[in-house]
Amino acid sequence: MKIKKALNKKGFTIIEIIAVLVIIAILAAAGIPSMMNFIGQARSKAIAAEGRTGYVAVQAAFNEVTMSATGPIVAGDFTGNQFNTGTANGLAASTLLTSYLQPDLYASDFTYSYANDVLQWLFYQPGSGGDSSATASAYYVAFYRTSPTSPLQIETGEVSKPGPGYAICNP
């Protein structure tokens, strides 16, 4: 009687367990690449949104300085990643950009250039400015003009596969 009970155990066989594991592996192999692509697209879109925020901040700071500057504005005042001279509403121009940015964005991650009171290009790569603890992102956003009078174009991408805007913003 005891022998019959020992042989009559209920449970899964090793073949059934292996079959289930193979099915799970196939589903994972199909799903993981699409999930990684989704994550990459989400990061790129987030950086593009941050870049647009920076673009608006740079424009707002530029307008505030040019509208209420205490000193003359010259061509070299708005290049690199800072406003070099002038004050507006008692603030040094170099601090205005930071005041317009969200707290998690760093002014030094943005580089830009003005010519004839028009933004020629703006480049944003999180972590590239050195004042954040993060390393530079693999993604970037570039706003650029192919000529001084052409419309502003937007390019997002990976630093490992740069587009034409990357070359314009990083001569």
pLDDT given for residue 129 in this prediction: 62
pLDDT given for residue 53 in this prediction: 85
At 72 the three-state DSSP class reads: coil
Question: Does residue 121 lie in a domain region?
Answer: yes
Question: Does residue 8 lie in a domain region?
Answer: no
Mean pLDDT split into 10-residue runs, the chain, 171 residues: 62 91 91 82 84 83 67 47 46 63 77 73 75 65 82 83 80 61
Catalogue the E-assigned strands of 16-137. 78-80, 82-83, 87-88, 91-92, 110-115, 118-124
Question: Does residue 25 lie in a domain region?
Answer: yes
Question: Does residue 2 lie in a domain region?
Answer: no
Tally of domains within the chain: 1
At 20 the three-state DSSP class reads: helix
pLDDT given for residue 15 in this prediction: 93
Question: Does residue 63 lie in a domain region?
Answer: yes
pLDDT given for residue 5 in this prediction: 59
pLDDT given for residue 113 in this prediction: 75
Question: Does residue 3 lie in a domain region?
Answer: no
pLDDT given for residue 166 in this prediction: 83
pLDDT given for residue 20 in this prediction: 95
pLDDT given for residue 19 in this prediction: 95
Classify residue 93 by burial, with Cβ atoms within 10 Å: 0-12, 13-18, 19+.
buried
Domain range spanning residue 63?
A: 13-169
